Amino acid sequence: MAIKVNPAGVEFAEQRIGEGDYRISTVWRQAQPSPTAAARFLDENGIDEYARWHLAVETDEPRTSPAHYTFPIGDFRSVHRSGLIAAQQDAAKHGYEDVEEAANELIFFFDRISAC
What total of structural domains would you count in the chain? 1
pLDDT of 59 over the 70 cut: yes
The DSSP letter of residue 33 is P
Q: Which domain holds residue 8?
A: 3-114
The DSSP letter of residue 116 is -
pLDDT for the residue 116: 56
Element spanning 70, H or E: strand 69-72
pLDDT in tens, 14-51: 999 999 889 988 998 999 999 999 999 999 999 999 99
pLDDT for the residue 6: 97
* Cα gap 32→81, rounded to integer Å: 11
CA dist 18 → 1, 98, 109, 110, 111 (Å): 32, 22, 9, 8, 11
pTM of the model: 0.92
How confident is residue 110, by pLDDT bands cut at 50, 70 and 90?
confident
pLDDT of 114 over the 90 cut: no
54-58 and 69-72 beta bridge pairing: antiparallel
